[in-house]
Structure 1
Amino acid sequence: MKLIAFDADDTLWANEPNYIDVKLKLCEMLSHHIDEETLSQRFYDAQIRNLAVFGYGAKSFMLSMIETAIELTDGAITGSEIQQIIDTGRKLLDFPVDVLDGVGEVLETLSKNFDLMVLSKGDLFDQESKIARSGLGHYFKHVEIVSEKNEQTYQRILHKYKVQPADFLMIGNSLKSDVLPVVHIGGRAIHIPFATTWAHEMVTDEQLTGKSFTTLGSVRELLELLENVKKTA
């Protein structure tokens, strides 16, 4: 392998729980306007609708919260309530980065023998800030922040670094973003599930049929797996 890439959010550090927490606070703030089930569905619809305009990340999340609040209250939401939503959402931009167990140890070991990359999608400022706050940046030779993870994105990155798909390994928690596109272009992928997954990142069993990739229970299992591969090569 010439290049090993790691997803960031919910692979290197916990991220989704922070978004879930902010969404619950939004439900609490608007509980006197609308029931939680309706709000959750309309908020999800707003998020998906806004991806093409605002992309992924905290800022897009905040704008979708405000838009949902205005729509569901028929414009009756007050300025102070909107400010409360902004203040709550702003916490997503500076929350303490909780590096997942074993990540530092694994990166330290792998960085001695491989070129490592952070390959994450989302807002550039937000992602760069989390990388800096994580204290993991020095392990990575390359950092790529992209607007979407699809086959075209991976092909562009591999072309940029002059790496063939067969020499590339992607590691992440999302089957949709970190595994399937890489497998489709002939690369290798390792899926390390996180406790919670955003609905937008879900895939069907049919999409996984016939796809070859490895699933690990934790990032700590990665070193043993790569060592076994090395021995049998």
Structure 2
Amino acid sequence: MRQTLIFDLDDTLIHCNKYFFNVLERFVSLMHAWFEGYGVTEEDIRQKQVEIDIQSVSQLGFLIDHFPQSLVSTYDYYTDKYGRAASAVEKDTLWKLGVSVFDYEAEPYPHMEETLDALAKQGHTLHLYTGGEPIIQQRKVERLALERYFGSRIYVRHHKNNEALEQILTEGQFDRAHTWMIGNSIRTDVMPALTAGIHAIHVEALSEWAYNVVPVDVQPRGAFLLLKQLREVPSAIEQYRKAAYSS
């Protein structure tokens, strides 16, 4: 039986985290140079930025300003803590550094095309569901011509959570017994899928953001598969279907 497959975009089909990590290394280096005299370590700076970034995303969602603002807010935290005079030039430098992460060209994950080709040939219906700013995410879709796989079945949300996925499933009248969510994030892909009662596949990211790592505390009502690579998805679904049919 044909299945409905909902794919995450960033760090499932295309690279994303590595660009943020590259920018963060430059940020940490700048901050350490500015605050080294106060005894601040590079690890201190990394941890504070992660704390501020996660709090911002949890409250506001994947807005375009959340990342550059997390760099500036980390800077503000340390200037306030140590009484160091804030510099408008330094803050502007950090803001521009944060925004620069969106200048990277979309780059596919290994085996993206062959995986989607195989699933399409098997007759499955493919959907794309991603968090972020519509204009930025659409640019990635167009850069890699992903409409050839997903058509108009593309959903972009600022908040990628239980409520957002439930709305998509309900409004689209998805057959949940034959619907799968495939993504790298336990928080925004796996947990909402399990909560909604659909199948879930966690595909391990090449590099993971701390925000995505949470415990799984929902009992699956269908499949919950853990895969190392994207190219394992077609055979994993086929094996699960055969096992379910034979039983």
Do they fold alike, i.e. is TM over 0.5? yes
Residue of structure 1 in register with 2:29 after alignment: 28
Please state if 1:66 is matched with 2:76: no
CA distance in 2, matches of 1:46, 1:161: 35
Residue of structure 2 in register with 1:143 after alignment: 154
Contact 2:60 2:159 in 1 (8 A): no
Contact 1:2 1:163 in 2 (8 A): no
Deviation (angstroms), 1:58 = 4.8
Residue of structure 1 in register with 2:102 after alignment: 93
CA distance in 1, matches of 2:7, 2:58: 24
Task: For 1:188, give the aligned amino acid.
Answer: H
Pairing 1:102-121 to 2, within 5 Å after superposition: 102-112=111-121, 113-121=123-131
CA shift digits 1:19-55 (9 cap, x unpaired): 1111111111111214222222221222133225542
Q: Could you say what the CA RMSD is over the residues aligned between the two structures, in angstroms? A: 2.1
* Identity among equivalent pairs (%): 26
Residue of structure 2 in register with 1:165 after alignment: 176
Indicate which of 200, 203, 212 corresponds to 1:189: 200
Residue of structure 2 in register with 1:132 after alignment: 142
CA shift digits 1:184-209 (9 cap, x unpaired): 221001111112221121123xx357
Residue of structure 2 in register with 1:38 after alignment: 44
Secondary structure of residue in 2 paired with 1:90: helix
Greater shift after overlay, 50-59 or 111-120?
A: 50-59
Deviation (angstroms), 1:82 = 2.1
CA distance in 2, matches of 1:209, 1:60: 29
Greater shift after overlay, 153-162 or 124-133?
A: 124-133
Indicate which of 116, 133, 138 corresponds to 1:123: 133
Greater shift after overlay, 177-186 or 3-12?
A: 177-186
Secondary structure of residue in 1 paired with 2:65: helix
Secondary structure of residue in 1 paired with 2:230: coil
Contact 2:181 2:201 in 1 (8 A): yes
CA distance in 1, matches of 2:240, 2:20: 37
CA distance in 2, matches of 1:2, 1:160: 18
C-alpha spacing 1:210/1:104, structure 2 compared with 1 (3 Å): same
TM-score by length of 2: 0.84
CA distance in 2, matches of 1:71, 1:222: 43
- Where does structure 1 lack aligned partners over 5 or more consecutive residues? none
Task: For 2:118, give the aligned amino acid.
Answer: T
For the pair shown, the structure with the greater C-alpha radius of gyration is 2
CA distance in 2, matches of 1:210, 1:217: 22
CA distance in 2, matches of 1:167, 1:92: 37
Secondary structure of residue in 1 paired with 2:9: coil
Please state if 1:222 is matched with 2:228: no
CA shift digits 1:149-169 (9 cap, x unpaired): 333222211111111321211
TM-score by length of 1: 0.89
CA distance in 1, matches of 2:158, 2:136: 12
CA distance in 2, matches of 1:38, 1:228: 46
C-alpha spacing 1:197/1:49, structure 2 compared with 1 (3 Å): same
